[in-house]
A and B are shown apart, each in its own frame.
Chain A
Amino acid sequence: MSGLALRPYLAVFSGRLQLTLQYRAAALAGFATQLWFGAIRVLIFAAFYAGGAAHAPMSLANAITYTWLGQAFLAFLPWYPDPDIVEMVRTGAVAYERLRPVDTYGWWYMRALAWSLARVAPRAALMVGFAGVLLPLVGLGQWGLAPPPSFAAAGLFALSALGMVLLSAAVTLILDVIIVSTLDDRGTNAVASSLVNLLSGLIVPLAFFPDWLRPWLRAQPFAGLIDIPFSIYFGGLSGWSAVGAIATQFGWVAALVVFARWRLAAAMARLQVQGG
């Protein structure tokens, strides 16, 4: 593809990014909420570990680091479809999307990517500043976000974080396609957000679930949203198992993109427009 052909996609990306970045009050509110829920999780972990950590799959310090990372990057979790697309489906404006001389999937994917990045960036900066810089500075380092243990872990994390960003947008697009096909987002949202919260490892790192479940939990798509990248960050996944986990992430991105493109094309071909 030539540079010219990519221009509309880059334009929608940067437009959405700048627009979403304007919501500073929402970012601050999100940070405060995530700080509170992160603190509850950290305190509960500390209480569990204080009673004996013989069967714990990771150290308390690592569980705390994982928790703060999960809160910092929370807005990557694809809980619901792109609200603008839900609105388009509701008003019927989605029909205009068929008139644009661009690939609808690619166009929407860039929107989703910009939307998640712009919501994550300010929240993550505040959270890393608080848990990674402020807490160690005031002498509460053992309650804070520790740096990765090695350059290898940091490098693998960077790769896995890229997988996380791409996967987040790919799941959002699956939800977008469901909306276009079913026209109602309420039921889907509830089921999707429950699945995402549990299977991504947000509520509890997947390693805490029974050992026999673990291979299955790490193989499903949502693990790549939190559990895989943040386990790689603190060294819980390293070497070839980390590489394998990253391969799973990118494999799921490819599979979801192919599937959603196919279903979107089918839905757009027999689009029934609501509204005038």
Chain B
Amino acid sequence: MLNALALYGRYTAASVRGQLAYPTSFALMTLGAFLITIIDFIGVWALFQRFGHLGGWTLGDVALFYGLTCVSFAIADAITRGFDVFGPTFVKTGAFDRLLLRPRSTVLQLLAYELRLTRVGRLAQGALVFAIGVALTHYHWSAGAVAILAFAIAGGVALFSGLLVMQATLAFWTVEGLEVANVLTYGGQAAAQYPMNVYAAWFRNLLIFAVPIGCVTYLPMLAAIGRADPLGSPAWVGPVAPVAGFAFLGLALFTWRFGIRRYASAGA
């Protein structure tokens, strides 16, 4: 285990050095990731200018949900690059054979494939929007609230990573990997940027019970800011809800192992 961590550290250090070898390119791509995500929030601002509030929430409230979701997704997206490109880069080329031959788990090796530093741009955007939310609202941020948020981010990283692992697992069958999986990763992030109670029931239930994004964003955020759930979930649910993210990751890793058994090399 310790050895695996050390190995991961060495892999990622190499990946980071490689990306920093082209500083201008790195800076531009990071700035780009920041810009492309912050403009979405300008759209949210414009709508609040017109309507004033959304289902009882102010712009500051929505900024908190939005920021939390973006931070979790940015971290997951940075560490799971190997799974994101799994179909075209590993299955189609047969490079996965080599991973199977090495005496380490495939999950570790794919995690170590690349630590995408440019996602710092997306992370910074999420943190900025969250800070705007804190400035615009007047919630009391106790140590307990911060702990709930940290747990929510951990659960969110687990959940989004789980989605990317499942997307990669599909490549055992489809080889190329399916763009449609973006609906759940990018699309799930986009949906969770708003408090879940504003959605129609079928959509909301999908995001809380089927793909439990609401459990790592909406429910813990309610607990952190001390607001009762307009949907009526009991108060104890919020702080423990992010566990669903880890359960989802566990399920994803289980399907991954199932998929590997089905793998037949496509390369030479």
Contacts of B18 in A (CB 8 A): none
- Cβ-defined contact, A44 with B198, below 8 A: yes
Among A115-123, A130-138, A204-212, the stretch that binds chain B is: A204-212
**Interface membership of A101, Cβ < 8 A:** no
Expressed in whole angstroms, the Cα–Cα distance for A11 and B183 within the complex equals: 36
Query: Per a CB cutoff under 8 Å, which of B46, B182, B199 touches A43?
Result: B199
Mark out the residues of chain A between 52 and 77 whose CB falls within 8 Å of any chain B CB in the assembled complex: 52-53, 55-57
Complex partner residue of A56 from B36, B40, B50, CB under 8 angstroms: B50
Asked whether any CB of chain B lies closer than 8 Å to the CB of A5, the reply is no
Binding-face segment, A30-38, A88-96, A159-167: A30-38
A52 CA / B51 CA spacing, docked (Å): 7
Q: Which residues of A contact B39 (CB under 8 A)?
A: 194, 197-198, 203
Total of A-B residue pairs, C-beta within 8 Å: 103
B32–A191 CB distance below 8 A: yes
| Alpha-carbon gap, A60 to B190, bound state (A) | 21
Bound: A46/B200 CA distance, A:
9
Knowing A47-B54, A186-B29, the reply to whether A198 touches B200 (Cβ < 8 A) is no
Question: Given A39-B203, A47-B198, A210-B49, list of 18 further CB < 8 A pairs?
Answer: A26-B179, A29-B182, A36-B183, A43-B199, A47-B55, A48-B51, A48-B54, A51-B55, A51-B56, A55-B51, A56-B50, A187-B32, A190-B33, A197-B39, A204-B43, A204-B46, A204-B47, A210-B46
Interface residues of A (CB under 8 A from B): 26, 28-30, 32-33, 36-37, 39-40, 43-44, 46-53, 55-57, 184, 186-187, 189-191, 193-194, 197-198, 203-204, 208-210
30 contacts between A and B (CB under 8 A): A32-B183, A33-B182, A33-B183, A37-B190, A40-B190, A43-B198, A43-B200, A44-B198, A47-B199, A49-B51, A51-B51, A52-B52, A56-B50, A57-B50, A186-B28, A187-B25, A187-B32, A190-B28, A190-B29, A190-B36, A194-B36, A194-B38, A197-B39, A198-B39, A198-B42, A198-B43, A203-B39, A208-B47, A209-B49, A210-B49
